[in-house]
Structure 1
């Protein structure tokens, strides 16, 4: 099976360009989207053969997630079962007989780390939610997790230390998450690969210079390791300040 995850930085905007061509070319079983930046009724997508699920932020033009899948789920859950954190459309969970698929757009700590406390609260609630799912059946998590875990995961670690997405708190939180029985699938296959990223600032010609960050992930329960055949970062696909990431698996 093929899973795709992509922060499109505005679904209505990317649909005006090459989204349909990219979507059809990738031909994924599961296509997960973050940062849709839209409300219900603002866009109708013709995606024959796919079930469509959207989670919208209460704030207009902000955040939002979606999943398009060829496989109808047993159950669909929106949010992370937290009154504090379920107003921004940041997560969707699809339940299948043998696994859960979760897509998430994790909060950014923001300029000056003004939302770091909110972000750390999210991490605690989200990790508890994922662990609860994992106790029932294996989890496949994807999305813009808004953290570069190690220095290898961004171009300029020294100058970005203590910036949003590369604070000690966020990185340690992600380490704790992985230690709870989860696996960063890209690093599972490519533990030492450098200079490959999934997000580049629109400023300073960052993508041309490949001055990026790896903040988009597929993280799975460790017990799915023997089912996973590859984890990729599709740097040749444009249309957003992020590129898609891909997970390939045997039947689960």
Structure 2
């Protein structure tokens, strides 16, 4: 019940914020499209609409985070914010200075890590490239099956390791690379192999159970 009440309040606040913004100058502003939520998906949709020549209004409850986007989060390393540092978002989850501003408060135990900011959960900079699995889309209904969404995953990728293949693509805005190995990492993976855990070449492939080198992603532009 508490969760439902919280969601209703959030929706009401969002609607009020939209109306207040659109009529701030005494009259309605006109846009071709309004994108509610500047998360990973909303940002891409808004960007592609803008590139196509449409005027777009993006409404996002949180602000910018990364320095490249004009982020004004507290610097932690020179000019860099906590969101520019790989795995720095783990600190965001545990430090009230950032979690209050850049994380949604969800009444759950443990609470999910749902970012609030331009880029959405894409600002969780772990540099890991993990897509949804076929089973994740099995019950989404017509138009959202794995066969429906896979072409869009492939279209978004510029995959250095697997190139253009049945599960991956090239030429997209998300550059995917494999992390360079080192001696310690090789020993670590050998230990898993010795323990009987299978080696996984591609964690976005048919099977994710096992151990292997990670892949990282970076959006271009």
What TM-score comes out, normalization by structure 1 length? 0.27
Going by fraction, where is strand more abundant, 1 or 2? Answer: 1
Instruction: Tell me which structure has the larger Cα radius of gyration.
Output: 2
Going by fraction, where is helix more abundant, 1 or 2? Answer: 2
What TM-score comes out, normalization by structure 2 length? 0.30
Q: Identify which of structures 1 and 2 has the higher relative contact order when contacts are C-alpha pairs closer than 8 Å and 6+ apart.
A: 1
